[in-house]
Amino acid sequence: MKNANTTSYKDRLSRHIDAYLSLVTSHPKVRLSEFESLVEYAQINHALKILEAPSEGRVLEQLCPAAFIDRADFLKIKASEYADKVLVTDWSLANINNSHYDAVLALAPIHHANSVEKTQYVSGAYKALKPNGVLAFGEVESGSSLHRFLDEFIHKHSCSGHVGQYPSADFTSVIEDAGFNHVSSDNKLSYWCFESADFLYHYLTQLFALKPMTKMFLLDSVHAYLGISENNGQLSINWPLRFYRGVKANI
């Protein structure tokens, strides 16, 4: 049963999904480190058919230039660069072709899902993959500094709120129960990178639909929760994720 305190994917993003995707598409370098960690952990080194669900911009094209990439999301995307290019699906990845993909990749796909929906997502990915296909995703880990940042600071200051149900290391058992082999999980520290403090303020305000606040308050809060480093005028926010990987059995 759904936790009444959890912000659903629809509640979190339905009011600004198009602005969200426009932002991440226009500024792919901000989250490049996250995607590099994802692709590295997935261990995919050849041309593939990849499914990204939910959709997070177009960074994968830079890292997997020979791959054919499809995208699905749990909401209808209206933005012109995405309209009719992102398949609408649900937590079970309905409407996705079975045994079609070499990899299902995602960043933070399931923390707005309840426990049943999380299981549906993993089982749906298993069905979508070819034999020997790889499921790999990065998620906010339960109890982490990023968990606290999202559910305390972002929840308090976002117009849409933000409370998630975050997986832990033992989520590997759910992946194994879905039929995956060679299941693994590990923490990796990625970074969100910004060319200036002004851009960091603009990006986070738009991405999380934040209520009005001063730039200094936002910067101080992010630094207190996650840490911000500066190098030659460039700012980097620590963005720790737990990554998961499983391989579909070769039946």
pLDDT averaged per 10 residues in sequence order, the chain, 251 residues: 69 86 92 97 90 92 94 84 81 96 97 97 98 97 98 96 97 98 97 97 96 98 97 94 96 69
Give the long-range contacts of residues 198-202, CB within 8 A, separation 24 or more.
200/235, 200/237
Q: What integer pLDDT is reported at residue 130 of this predicted model? A: 97
8, HSE (Cβ side, Cα atoms, 13 Å): 13
Q: What integer pLDDT is reported at residue 42 of this predicted model? A: 97
Q: In 10 A of CB 47, how many CB atoms?
A: 12
Q: How far apart are CA 244 and CA 172, in angstroms?
A: 7
Count the residues in the chain. 251
Q: In 10 A of CB 61, how many CB atoms?
A: 12
Q: What is the mean pLDDT of the chain?
A: 93
Integer Rg of the chain from CA: 17
The percentage of residues in the chain with a pLDDT greater than 90, rounded to a whole number, is 82
Q: What integer pLDDT is reported at residue 146 of this predicted model? A: 98
Classify strands 234-248 and 180-194 as parallel, antiparallel or unpaired: antiparallel
Phi, psi dihedrals of residue 242, rounded to the nearest 5°: -100, 130
Q: Write down the pTM of the prediction.
A: 0.94
Q: What integer pLDDT is reported at residue 79 of this predicted model? A: 67
Q: What integer pLDDT is reported at residue 35 of this predicted model? A: 97
Q: In 10 A of CB 115, how many CB atoms?
A: 14
Classify strands 68-73 and 129-139 as parallel, antiparallel or unpaired: unpaired
138, HSE (Cβ side, Cα atoms, 13 Å): 21
